[in-house]
């Protein structure tokens, strides 16, 4: 039987996941969302056919699986508010950056299965990548179900150590934004060179898609794929020399560490263990 699943706090990430699920055949009548804004409730109901509630309590009461999709700063208040309704056979999945399993379990108020996930917005088109870790109350059956859920909107990877979720956030959770930022720069420069926006967008984005597909499908060393494009004394070499002159490794490392460190800060801010 398909379980009913409630998304608490429908915004960008919740929509990315449930729209990917709907596209892969998950029945709309098994999906509930919550939003405090009447216009958003009407919009999501009309656009996706899912049930929208204003009341988080009602959503938690109704659903077998609850996906917590509010911002990290709102998580404690939102979870504690409905903790009376929590049943021990439910499964909770958090998508929040930095918020630890222990904190979620503590706020939920009883021993219950909790999975911490770090998805990304390409889930919306079935191309997501999600890092996962479960607490000890989560059964293998529940883990399999969560794996299938995220497989229906892309790919997923379980990590062994919760500390690795910071790395996952900097490597896949936030990373689509890095690539969008890179594309924005590329398209801007193509326009400065005289090409129109539409053509620039198409050329750059297909180059990015093609490169990603080669990495995934050919399984050759990435360095070799790069070298295959880089003719000695050719055009690519000049672009890569320019990246190296700007110390691309440092630029990327600084950005990823800034991201991972912010995830650690969020963990510390909301950690039940550290703020006892």
Ligand X SMILES: NC(=O)C1=CN([C@@H]2O[C@H](COP(=O)(O)OP(=O)(O)OC[C@H]3O[C@@H](n4cnc5c(N)ncnc54)[C@H](O)[C@@H]3O)[C@@H](O)[C@H]2O)C=CC1
Ligand Y SMILES: O=C(O)[C@@H]1CCC=N1
Q: Which residues bind ligand X (CB under 6 A)?
A: 8-14, 34-36, 56, 69-72, 74, 78, 95-97, 118-121, 173
**DSSP conformational letter for 92:** E
Token pair for 125: 């088109």
Going along the chain, which residue ranges are E strands?
5-8, 31-34, 51-53, 65-68, 91-94, 113-118, 128-134, 154-158
Which positions from 163 through 182 interact with ligand Y, judged by CB under 6 A?
Answer: 169, 173-174
Q: Is 19 in the site for ligand Y (CB under 6 A)?
A: no
**DSSP conformational letter for 24:** T
- Selection from ligand X, ligand Y, none that 112 binds (CB < 5 to 8 A by kind) is none
Judged by CB, which is closer to ligand Y: 148, or 265? 265
Distance CA 133, CA 160 (A): 7
Judged by CB, which is closer to ligand Y: 63, or 68? 68
Token pair for 71: 């911002």
Which positions from 88 through 147 interact with ligand Y, judged by CB under 6 A?
Answer: 97
Q: How many CB atoms lie within 10 A of CB 152?
A: 19
Q: Which residue in this structure is represented by tokens 């990015």?
A: 208
Q: Is 9 in the site for ligand Y (CB under 6 A)?
A: no
Judged by CB, which is closer to ligand Y: 32, or 175? 175
Q: Is 56 in the site for ligand Y (CB under 6 A)?
A: no
Contacting positions for ligand Y (CB under 6 A): 97, 169, 173-174
């Amino acid at each position: 039987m398909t379980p009913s699943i409630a998304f608490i706090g429908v915004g960008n990430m919740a929509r990315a996941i449930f729209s990917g699920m709907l596209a892969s055949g998950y029945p709309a009548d098994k999906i509930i969302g919550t939003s405090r804004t009447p216009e958003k409730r009407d919009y999501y109901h009309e656009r996706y056919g899912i049930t929208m509630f204003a009341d988080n309590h009602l959503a938690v009461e109704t659903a077998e699986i609850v996906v917590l999709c509010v911002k990290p700063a709102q998580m404690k208040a939102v979870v504690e508010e409905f903790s009376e309704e929590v049943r021990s056979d439910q499964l909770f999945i958090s998508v929040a950056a930095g918020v630890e399993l222990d904190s979620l379990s503590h706020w939920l108020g009883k021993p219950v299965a909790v999975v911490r996930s770090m998805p990304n917005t390409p889930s919306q088109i079935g191309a997501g990548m999600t890092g996962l870790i479960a607490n000890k109350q989560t059964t293998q059956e529940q883990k399999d179900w969560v794996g299938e859920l995220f497989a229906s909107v892309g790919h997923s990877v379980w990590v062994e150590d919760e500390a690795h979720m910071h790395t996952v956030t900097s490597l896949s959770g936030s990373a689509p934004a890095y690539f969008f930022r890179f594309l924005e720069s590329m398209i801007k420069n193509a326009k400065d060179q005289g090409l129109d926006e539409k053509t620039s967008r198409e050329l750059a984005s297909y180059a990015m898609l093609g490169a990603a597909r080669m990495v995934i499908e050919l399984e050759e060393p990435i360095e070799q794929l790069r070298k295959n494009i880089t003719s000695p004394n050719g055009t690519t070499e000049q672009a890569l020399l320019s990246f190296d002159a700007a110390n691309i490794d440092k630029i990327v490392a600084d950005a990823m560490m800034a991201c991972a460190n912010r995830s650690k800060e969020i963990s510390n801010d909301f950690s039940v263990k550290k703020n006892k």
